Structure 1
Amino acid sequence: MEWRKCYLDMILIPLGFLITISYHVWLWYKVRTQPLTTIIGLNMTGRRLWVSAILEDIDKKNILAVQTLRNNLMGSTLMATTSILLCTGLAAVISSTYSAKKPLNDTIYGAHGEIMVALKYATVLTIFLFSFFCNTLSIRLINQLSILICSPLEPSSILTSEYICELLEKGSVLDIVGNRLFYTALPLLLWIFGPVLVFLSWVAMVSVLYNMDFLCANSCVQGNGKQTREGISG
């Protein structure tokens, strides 16, 4: 009888996790091997070009650099604040009486026992905490970068443009990881109402992320063809 109550949780939740993790492993592989086919890889190249352009004329572009980094800080701060607020709310629910943590309807598919309910809240809370941790690390690195990017670069100095690019890359990667953890935890909030909604939400989220992470094949072909024609005409 207990198996009949929790078999959907034991099948759909790990399967949803596997789909999400497999997609991000494949995305990481594409970023490493074919970076220009993904938005993340293209943005990485653009950030390096941005740092080089800013450092070449830092006296005129220092305000632009600080404002751009401030916008990144605002985004990471928003995600970190949202994550810790959700953690606080979940902690308040976990510490309340069990009647407050019961599903709204006992006919919802999935297990409703105390152990399973505690597992649901603990899993969501853990992922949100890791999202908060990654976003706060991103804020720390970008704060350092906003100071160092306006510092004078001397030939004998330890501070180099490569180090500044590395700081920006680490901060951006941590921001991406924090956001992806947040996106993964959001469907888990629906686990309170059953595993079916969680699985469907994860499948929908992967399809949305795919359209956002990868460049359209036609646009890539057109862009490569345009560059080729320009090279020939030049």
Structure 2
Amino acid sequence: MSGYHLFLLYRCLRFPETTAIGYDNHYRKAWVEKMLQVEAKERGPCLSVISSTKSAATFFASTSLVLSSLIGAGLEAVQMISSRVFSYMVTQIHPSFLSNMLAFVSYASFLQCISSFVHANFLISMPNSDVPVEYVQMALIRGSAFWSVGLRAIYFAVTLLLWIFGPIPMFVSSVAMVVILHILDTNSASLSTGQES
């Protein structure tokens, strides 16, 4: 999974049009350009889109925090109940500790996502201002990047949790996750320049 995400990062940086992330970022930039052309008092629908995204990010942040707490409580219970040799416990628990850390990384990423979208909301709703389009675009794209990192951290955490059942379920889950993510992350549609309309 780590190798796939390094490959995805390379594609996002070098060939963004071939990824769903680059595709979405292209249309986010176009959305901001069109939205900033209307009067500030008519930007209500745009602000509601950002508001609903903030609500979803808040839900995922809470879910990540709960997941991190449950994993931590589970690790505590395993350490108290297990009567196996210490070295065996360390080997078995290590992926779960990593899973716990990834759940917390997810929580932090969703908090940063919310922060970026709040900043974008502030820039969009300012009446009679000449906010550069690039500032709003950068805030939206940064928020979306943190959103992606948060979701990917949850995917990693859940896959690592399968180590409880052994390395084979975790490996099968990792392979299935990479195949599914590759399908979802690939973009074959061409990017329009927005000049047609």
TM-score, structure 1 as length reference: 0.74
Give 2:88's aligned residue: 113
Equivalence for 2:11:
30
Residues 70 and 100 (structure 1), Cα distance of their counterparts in 2 relative to 1, 3 Å cut: farther
Structure 1: 4+ residue segments shifted above 4 A: 99-102
The percentage of aligned residue pairs carrying the same residue is 27
2:123 alignment partner in structure 1: 148
Cα-Cα RMSD: 2.4
- Tell me which structure has the larger Cα radius of gyration: 1
Shift of 1:52: 0.8
**Structure 1 Cα separation of the partners of residues 71 and 21 of structure 2:** 32
- The amino acid across from 1:175 in the alignment is W
Q: Distance in 2 between matches of 1:180 and 1:206?
A: 11
Q: Residue deviations 1:77-104, cap 9 Å, x none?
A: 12211111011112222233636468xx
Q: Aligned equivalents of 1:140 and 1:52: distance in 2? A: 21
Counterpart amino acid of residue 70 in structure 1: S
User: Does residue 134 of structure 1 match 2:115?
Assistant: no
Q: Does the Cα contact within 8 Å between 2:58 and 2:114 map onto a contact in 1?
A: yes
- Partner in structure 2 of residue 80 of structure 1: 61
1:66 match: secondary structure: helix
**Equivalent pairs, count:** 192
* Structure 1 residues 201 and 61, CA gap change in structure 2 (3 angstroms): farther
Structure 2 unaligned regions, length at least 5: none
Deviation digits for residues 34-90 of structure 1 (CA, Å, limit 9, x no counterpart) = 222211101001000111111100446411111100121122112211111011112
Gaps of 5+ in 1: 1-19
Structure 1 contact 141–170 (Cα < 8 Å) conserved: yes
Kept after mapping to 1: 8 A contact 2:40/2:124: no
Normalised to the residue count of structure 2, the TM-score between the two structures is 0.87
1: CA distance between counterparts of 2:128 and 2:114? Answer: 23
